[in-house]
Amino acid sequence: MNRAGSGAGRYAPSPTGDLHLGNLRTGLLAWLFARSTGRAFLLRYEDLDAGRVRAGVAKSQRADLEALGLDFDPPVLVQSERSTVYAEAVAALGDLTYECFCTRREIAEAASAPHGEPRRYPGTCRNLTPGERAERRRTGRTPALRIRADDAIVTVTDLLHGQVSGAVDDVVVRRGDGVAAYNLAVVVDDAASGVDQVVRGDDLLSSAVTQAWLAERLGLSVPTYAHVPLALNADGHRLAKRDGAVTLADLAPSGWTPSGILALLAGSLGLAERGEVVTASQLRDRFEPERLPREPWIVRPSELVAPAE
């Protein structure tokens, strides 16, 4: 897709609703990292969770990003159109996968047990015998497929966090409904698009080691990462649309323009003075990754009542 050897960055929203300030800030950072290093910048829609996708949202998300001055190189990749590619990748993993019949509730209960590990698969189905698998099928359960990582330790390079090491989790690569899972899809898509620089929220930092493991097993290149601080609400929780007027459309009645929002985001990154009118290209010329804030951006409702003077 992308010109060989040129490299690319990407932004990959899920088309489930309008982008809020935190989403827009991460999108801006992904664009700045890519464009300041001469990379292509690609847009991908991660729409595999079909039940949450809303009609028209993909178009409005792109419009909001472009209103801030972000531009994209073709083509736009849509995950729901790539089921065959994902199926081939799952098949290529071969014996590195195993069937998992666990429900989310069962996994949560195992993780909360005295010796459980939160957010990691407890290995319940890892060593089932053929007979045990057949018995579970007779109950009507359709298995997902997980990777057999055997607690491998992998190290990735992050431009903000340095060398990051961690144990690879036995994540799902194909859901019980037959749809590719997130961790597999992003690895396959990044490689297919020539993405060698992944910029996203630091809540996904722990998943990088698992995705790097998957890339290596599929014979794909591992990108360089930059996991950036999130935008949080006044209570210290991840910013969400339920926090009120935090999207371009919601803020417009208060007098906020895309230019004003860009200035707000730039100020939160230390790239502009309060109220300074800036363009995305100006921010690109000022951008120095090593000077980025390392702490989350706290978005307070009182600061969004009206545009900064």
Other beta carbons within 10 Å of 264: 23
Of the listed ranges 143-147, 189-193, 242-246, the one predicted with least confidence: 242-246
- What pLDDT score was predicted for residue 121? 93
pTM of the model: 0.93
Asked whether 9 and 41 are in contact (CB, 8 A), the reply is yes
- What pLDDT score was predicted for residue 110? 78
pLDDT mean over 218-241 = 95
In angstroms, the CA 299 to CA 274 distance is 15
User: What's the chain's average pLDDT?
Assistant: 93
Which tens digits make up the pLDDT trace of 70-126? 999 999 999 999 999 999 999 999 999 999 999 988 888 876 655 456 678 999 999
Pairing mode of beta strands 8-11, 153-158: unpaired
302 pLDDT tier (thresholds 50, 70, 90) = confident
Other beta carbons within 10 Å of 20: 23
Residue 2, pLDDT > 60, answer: no
Candidates 3.40.50.620, 3.20.10.10, 3.30.930.10, 3.30.590.10; correct CATH number of 8-82+246-296? 3.40.50.620
Joined tokens for residue 221: 């290149």
In angstroms, the CA 117 to CA 182 distance is 21
Output 1 or 281, whichever has higher pLDDT.
281
Which tens digits make up the pLDDT trace of 207-226? 999 999 999 999 999 999 99
On the question of a cis peptide bond just before residue 75, with omega within 30 degrees of 0, the verdict is yes
pLDDT mean over 237-254 = 91
∠ CA 201-206-208, rounded to 5°: 80
Q: What is the percent of the chain with per-residue pLDDT over 90, rounded to a whole number?
A: 85
Joined tokens for residue 188: 């396959």
Number of helices and strands in the chain (H, E): 10, 12
- Residue among 136, 69, 138 nearest 102 (CA): 136
- What pLDDT score was predicted for residue 4? 38
